[in-house]
Amino acid sequence: NTPGANANAVKELVIAAMLVASRDILGGADWVQEQAHTPKVELTQAVEKGKSAFAGPELYHKTLGIIGFGRIGQALGRMAKGLGMEVIAYNRSHVPGIEERMGMKYVELDELFARADFISLHTPSLGGVKLISRENIAKMKDGVVIINTSRGDNVDERDLLEALNAGKVRAAGLDVYTEEPSANAALYSHPNVSCTPHIGAATKEAQQRIGTEIVEIIQGFGK
């Protein structure tokens, strides 16, 4: 077990997913490709329409709710603070010094659901308990963005898809799924969902850190 070795990699993926969701980067890229063969006059008009169609919110001054405030959650919180976000966090046990040392606020789960513009999950599997469910989504702001890089079974995919179709959830970024590889085509092909194939720790640097820590742990046996 090498806790924390992948914290930087995961936090960067979460920030990327938040930016993709807020600015509809994937939709914008598709739109540009679709205009490739448009006549110049029509393209100029289309570009102006495209700019307004893809206008989205900034992360600056938005509230990020982090559920699970271990090494990854704390690393994400520090990066989000650097982007000018307000960070609130929920953990099953209160993390000492979260307010004073980290400048982030500990809140209960229902308050996090009610206040957060973005919600990112960083908890282990909860034994079938769904953090993202129809009941909890109803407590959230309209237009909330949900990011999951933790465990697939923390999200009820049917309830998330329903909320996306209704517009209650504006967008989602998913790196983990109930089944892997995901068989939920309706979810991963949704225009407001960005999906990655469980690559939270898939950076060269993270893999190097994981390998180094494993070696150190093995060397430590018997000392």
Active site residues: 151, 180, 198
| Distance of alpha carbon 90 from alpha carbon 139, whole angstroms | 15
- Helix (H, G, I), strand (E, B), or coil: what is residue 87? strand
Q: Are 125 and 153 in contact (CB under 8 A)?
A: yes
> Could you tell me the sign of the dihedral formed by the alpha carbons of 197, 115, 165, 151, in that order?
positive
Can you tell me which residue has the tokens 């898809």? Answer: 161
Compute CA 57 distance to the chain's CA centroid, rounded to the nearest angstrom.
Answer: 16
| Distance of alpha carbon 74 from alpha carbon 11, whole angstroms | 9
